[in-house]
């Protein structure tokens, strides 16, 4: 949305050093919200948010502790400042098409982008226009019923989240109801009748849960219940099914879903200020197992597995009695501790394969942290309460089975461990979606999801920033098949014994870290950490992965870059150079102190060496200056 709003807004988002000093002094070194003494990680906050046109000026600034600043940003931006650009554009498209072909309209929206707010806005529009009289929201899990009801209430729409089929009718003081797919499937004729009595908008949350194949009951039930509804709005972040069955009310072209509007993770990340970036430390290690009834032990590293060896190797690695998963949990907890420096209530999520593993992982985390993690093992009311409690408190970890894969809103999640044997792309994307929701414009968190270094997870991580169209194209190329149990052995006769017996696993080792679609080696990560350490504290929001990639771009490491898999969503060149200059300034300061020479003298030496100056130097030249300073510092600090 270029134009007046673009040119009038101060494009400089962060307060500079002089402004931060002024804000600190004006606050007398204390948080302007809670009054506690400010730590070095305090935030310079815009009183009128930058995204709402607030200028980056001391008159619009205040000093806040990280906790108060992030709490301030938890409210929906759409609630306070109107719809986001994509929401308004999708809204206009929806109305221009009169609700889509046959009254059905599919919106693909990444978690955290605000698809609930968008859907409720459409509902209010249609109610105000007299197009509909009642609203039915259909969700995959019971936990989401209350979540939708709360969101609707904030937007002036009253939904009955306690409705049961036995009620028969919707209370006249409600605008509609929230029910599960299972509730509809069990009494499809009731819902068909209710939709015939009043002009109804049906919102399907995560519509990919409903297939039309012979093995799917929900798809045919939804068709029978809602094909007579006045309007249908379909929402999904992953508009495809692993089993390849079509989704009801979705328009297809060449067997591919055609969204009425698409705003996926790659697009949101490119826009900035909508979702967080995610990096994937991929952890390697040795797994050992033997075939049932045999004495010979097979040993292989996770990175060397293939289609046949992945199931037993992964099962051995995830065995809580081995060494691999405890070491990964320890590494992840260290990452969470680091995240909590800037975000005191940052939380972690472990996605386990089954209830037994979830409880075992919780016990390991308790030994590591001294704090009992929350455990959510099923979609029962108590588990929903556990998830809601974890979302609002400041405890460290929650361990869950698949139920937290999608639809659960815990914005404080910053670190995750993918400790499940599920290897479908749809499930992986859904898990990643738990970590991308921003908590306000000052949230500069980069989420970390620890994964086993196996295929296809590595490929999924590299492709996470692709658009949905690219993901769908990849899905079409590979054979779709329902995932079989990892304990099955298709090469041998049926047996009452498990096909493989886990023997053990080694402690995990770092294999690679995937960021912006590229694999970063251990050597590159170590070099980036060394550069940041020698330069002093890095600017807030600058990650080790970011530094490693820009050092690679400049050829400042000996590592050979791998082929780029996904188009990166990097910061604009001007922003990159700004951050590198800040890093260079700290490094020059360190060297100046070490050799007792003024900054001007050091910059002059480098200007003569490179034939340019800091203000006009290219990004490559700036990074080469950092590499040269590393050499100088290495000499004087021996």
Nearest to 249 by CA among 184, 213, 204: 204
**Residue with the larger pLDDT of the pair 225 and 405:** 225
CATH 3.40.50.10810 placement within the chain: 82-263
Model confidence at 204, pLDDT cuts 50, 70, 90, reads very high
Nearest to 17 by CA among 615, 582, 441, 440: 582
Packing angle, helices 381-392 and 143-154, rounded to 10: 50
Range scoring the smallest mean pLDDT among 234-238, 436-440, 549-553: 549-553
**Does the pLDDT value for residue 393 go beyond 60?**
yes
**Residue with the larger pLDDT of the pair 65 and 481:** 65
Per-residue confidence (pLDDT) for residue 414, from 0 to 100: 94
Range scoring the smallest mean pLDDT among 181-190, 309-318, 391-400, 427-436: 427-436
Burial track 374-385 (b if 16+ CB lie within 10 A, e otherwise): bbbbebeeebbe
Which run of H or E residues covers position 268?
A: helix 265-271
**For the CA atoms of 422, 425, 426, 432, what is the dihedral angle to 10 degrees?**
90
Per-residue confidence (pLDDT) for residue 563, from 0 to 100: 34
List strand residue ranges (DSSP E) for 2-133, in order.
43-46, 61-64, 104-109
- Condensed to tens digits (0 to 9), the pLDDT of residues 129-168 reads 889 999 999 998 887 898 899 889 887 889 999 999 999 9
**Does the pLDDT value for residue 438 go beyond 60?**
yes
Q: Is the separation of the CB atoms in 106 and 259 below 8 Å?
A: yes
The pLDDT of 350-367, averaged and rounded, is: 95
Secondary structure of residue 561 in the 3-state scheme:
coil
- Condensed to tens digits (0 to 9), the pLDDT of residues 63-92 reads 888 777 766 654 443 443 368 889 999 999
Per-residue confidence (pLDDT) for residue 559, from 0 to 100: 40
CATH number belonging to domain 4-72: 3.40.1800.10
Which run of H or E residues covers position 119?
A: helix 115-128
Annotation: CATH topology of 82-263? Rossmann fold (3.40.50)
Per-residue confidence (pLDDT) for residue 52, from 0 to 100: 65
CA distance 362 to 87: 39
CA distance 87 to 118: 6
Model confidence at 3, pLDDT cuts 50, 70, 90, reads very low
Is the domain covering 278-511 a CATH 3.40.50.300 domain? yes
CATH 3.40.1800.10 placement within the chain: 4-72
CATH 3.40.50.300 placement within the chain: 278-511
Distances (CA, A) of 603 to 59, 402, 550, 617, 636: 34, 55, 21, 12, 17
């Amino acid at each position: 949305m270029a134009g007046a709003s673009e040119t009038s807004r101060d494009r400089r988002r962060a307060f500079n050093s002089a402004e931060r000093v002024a804000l600190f002094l004006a606050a007398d070194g204390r948080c302007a919200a809670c009054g506690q003494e400010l730590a070095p990680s305090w935030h310079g906050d815009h009183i009128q948010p930058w995204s709402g046109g607030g200028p980056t000026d001391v008159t619009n600034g205040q000093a806040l502790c990280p906790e108060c600043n992030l709490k301030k940003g938890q409210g929906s931006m759409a609630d306070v400042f109107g719809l986001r650009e994509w929401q308004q554009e999708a809204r206009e498209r929806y109305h221009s098409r009169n609700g889509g072909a046959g009254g059905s309209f599919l919106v693909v929206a990444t978690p955290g982008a605000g698809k609930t707010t968008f859907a409720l806005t459409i509902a209010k529009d249609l109610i105000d226009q007299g197009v509909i009289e009642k609203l039915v929201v259909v969700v995959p899990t019971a936990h989401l019923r209350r979540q939708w009801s709360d969101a609707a209430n904030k937007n002036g729409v009253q939904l009955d989240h306690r409705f049961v089929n036995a009620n028969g009718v919707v209370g006249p003081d409600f605008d509609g109801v929230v029910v599960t797919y299972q509730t509809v499937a069990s009494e499809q004729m009731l819902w068909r009748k209710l939709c015939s009595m009043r002009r109804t908008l049906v919102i399907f949350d995560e519509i990919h849960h409903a297939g039309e194949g012979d093995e799917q009951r929900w798809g045919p039930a939804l068709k029978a219940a809602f094909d007579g509804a006045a309007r249908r709005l379909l929402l999904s972040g992953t508009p495809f099914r692993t089993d390849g069955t079509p989704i009801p009310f979705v328009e297809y072209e060449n067997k591919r879903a055609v969204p009425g509007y698409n705003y996926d993770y790659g697009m949101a990340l490119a826009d900035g200020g909508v979702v967080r970036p995610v990096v994937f430390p991929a952890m390697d290690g040795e797994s050992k197992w033997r075939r049932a009834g045999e004495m010979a032990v097979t040993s292989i590293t996770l990175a060397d597995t293939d289609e046949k060896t992945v199931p037993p190797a992964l099962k051995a690695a995830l065995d809580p009695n081995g060494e691999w998963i405890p070491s990964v949990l320890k590494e992840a907890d260290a990452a969470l501790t680091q995240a909590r420096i800037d975000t005191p209530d940052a939380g972690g999520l472990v996605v386990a394969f089954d209830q037994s593993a979830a409880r075992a992982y919780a016990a390991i985390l308790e030994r590591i942290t001294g704090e009992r993690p929350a455990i959510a093992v099923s979609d029962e009311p108590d588990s929903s309460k556990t998830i809601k409690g974890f979302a609002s408190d400041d405890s460290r970890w929650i361990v869950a089975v698949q139920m937290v894969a999608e639809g659960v809103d815990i914005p404080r999640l910053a670190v995750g461990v993918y400790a499940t044997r599920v290897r479908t792309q749809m499930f992986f994307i859904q898990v990643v979606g738990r970590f991308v929701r921003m908590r306000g414009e000052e949230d500069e968190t980069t989420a970390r999801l620890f994964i086993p270094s196996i295929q296809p997870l590595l490929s999924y991580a590299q492709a996470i920033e692709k658009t949905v169209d690219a993901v769908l194209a990849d899905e079409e190329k590979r054979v779709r098949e329902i995932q079989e149990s990892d304990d099955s052995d298709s090469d041998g006769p049926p047996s009452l014994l498990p096909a493989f017996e886990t023997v053990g696993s080694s402690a995990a080792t770092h294999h690679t870290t995937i960021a912006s679609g590229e694999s970063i080696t251990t050597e590159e990560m170590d070099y980036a950490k060394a550069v940041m350490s020698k330069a002093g504290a890095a600017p807030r929001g600058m990650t080790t992965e970011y530094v490693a990639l820009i050092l690679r771009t400049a050829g400042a490491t000996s590592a050979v870059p791998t082929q780029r898999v996904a188009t990166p969503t990097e910061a604009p060149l001007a922003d990159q150079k700004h951050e590198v200059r800040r890093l260079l300034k700290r490094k020059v300061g360190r060297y100046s102190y070490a050799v007792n020479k003024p900054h001007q003298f050091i910059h002059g030496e480098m200007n003569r060496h490179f034939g340019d100056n800091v203000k006009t130097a290219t990004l490559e030249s700036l990074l080469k200056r950092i590499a040269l300073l590393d050499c100088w510092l290495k000499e004087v600090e021996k």
